[in-house]
Structures are given as structure tokens and as C-alpha cells.
A and B are shown apart, each in its own frame.
Chain A
């Protein structure tokens, strides 16, 4: 009876928040991986489960980042027109994916130059 009063809304803010959270999580993931490889203190800091190693802390960090960014971005964009962010967020997401794949290659993140 009242169905014409309710419009089936397209919650673009959630989609934008998901894309932003996904992209930022990818960036955080490769940066944390690089820090864990380079700095022993960071590796020890992220070792929450000793039998697994630093990857346990890295996974928790990734989950935390995604949830935090998604909630903050979703709250910020809620009820706002975010259609102008659509293309830029998609580009950032694609770029982050590419960067993650390149920066997590073993011979890239373990690359070092020694001066003697």
C-alpha cells in the first residue's frame, strides 16, 4: 500500500567506503610487510602468535584498518552525494591492487643495496 512512498535507495556511500577501505588496507598491508622485513623491532611487535610469526599481527592490522576506514568513511559520506568520487576511488583501488602485487614479490621487498 505504501510501497510508492519508499524508494529503493542506492547506498553509494557504502560502496565508496568499501572501495576506499579496500584500497587503503592494501596500501597498509604492503607497507607493514616491508617494515616487518626491514626492521626486526617491528617484526617482534607484530608477533602476536609466536608459532605463526609476524603475519598474525599483520592480519589483525589489516582487519583493523579495513573496519576502521570503512566505518569512518561510511559515517562521513552517509547521506551525502559521493558520485563525483566514484571514478577516483576506483582508480585508487586498481592502483593499490597493482602496487600490492608488485611490492609483495619476494625479490622486490627483500631487495637491498650494500655499500662497502
Chain B
């Protein structure tokens, strides 16, 4: 007999473990963020090749910023983790929870700075006076990527 329950709901969500992951929008957005940031990281090193790459990177950075805003909004609404607990309790996961809330500010701030720098350098990427700003933009993208990785690893603790 064919199980009609398979047709209901989302794909592959009949298994409980997958259902848990699919029901958490923050996790889905975090996965999307990692993919977008990986693409932005690669594009940031190719910026000097063409203005088309700069335009694509600008689009990716806007998407990254919106995704980060989404993650923050979901976490603020859910507020599942406790903040600024007494450190004397020695609960390391709570300390890292506060650390993650502080760290998430870095990619949000740095994507805005990178968008502004890239908008200014658009069409001038190869010029010597834009070198400093292109480096600053690459720094912003790299640090944002590493911060997101750190947040991911800390959430496992």
C-alpha cells in the first residue's frame, strides 16, 4: 500500500531528524550564508579582472547582508539562547552564546563597509589609488567569512 503521508509537507521531511532541521529557519539561512560567503570570498580576489565581477560581488554582498539580518531577526524573535549569564557558573556554552551575539556584528558591519568601498571602487579597481580600498574590501570579506565559521564552530560547543 502506498503511503500517502509522503506526499504531505516538504520533501524528505518524513524522517524526524530532517524535519527538525527543515523547521529551523535560522539553520537554513546559515547554510545559505556560508554558500554566499564562499562565493563572495572567491570573487573578492578576482575583482581586478573585470567590472562585471565587481557588480556580481556587490550583489552577493547585498544578499549576504540581508541573510545576516534575517538570521539576526529569527534569533532575536526566538531568543533561544541566554545572554550575559554570570560567568562564575562556568557554563562555557552560555559564555560562547554571548560571544556569538557579539561576533555576529562583525559580518553585518563589514558587509556594509565592503559594499560602500566596492561602490566607490567600481570601475576603478585597477587604478593605484584604489589599491588600499580594494585591500580593505578583501579584508572585510575574509574576516566576515572567518567570523561566520567561528560562529558556526562555537554553536557546536
Contact = CB atoms under 8 A, between A and B. Distances in A.
Which secondary structure dominates chain B's binding surface? Answer: helix
Interface stretch (B42-50, B52-60, B120-128): B120-128
Interface in A9-59: 10-12, 14-15, 18-19, 21-22, 25-26, 29, 33, 36-37, 43, 49, 51-56, 59
A22 B87 contact: no
A66 B96 contact: no
Given A25-B109, A104-B102, A14 B116 contact: yes
B34 interface: no
Given A14-B120, A18-B117, A104-B103, A53 B83 contact: yes
Contact of A94 (B102, B121, B139): B139
A14 B106 CA distance: 20
Contact of B132 (A52, A55, A90): A90
Contacts, number: 90
B3 to A, nearest CB: 41
Given A52-B83, A55-B83, A19 B136 contact: yes
A59 B75 CA distance: 13
B84 A15 contact: no
B137 to A, nearest CB: 9
A34 to B, nearest CB: 11
Contacts of A19: 113, 117, 133, 136
A94 B83 CA distance: 28
Nearest to B87: A110
Given A29-B105, A56-B76, A37 B84 contact: yes
B129 A106 contact: no
Given A90-B135, A104-B99, A43 B121 contact: no
B112 interface: yes
Interface residues of A, number: 40
A22 B132 contact: no
A53 B110 CA distance: 24
A49 B109 CA distance: 21
B136 A93 contact: yes
A25 B102 CA distance: 13
Interface in A102-116: 104-106, 110
B32 interface: no
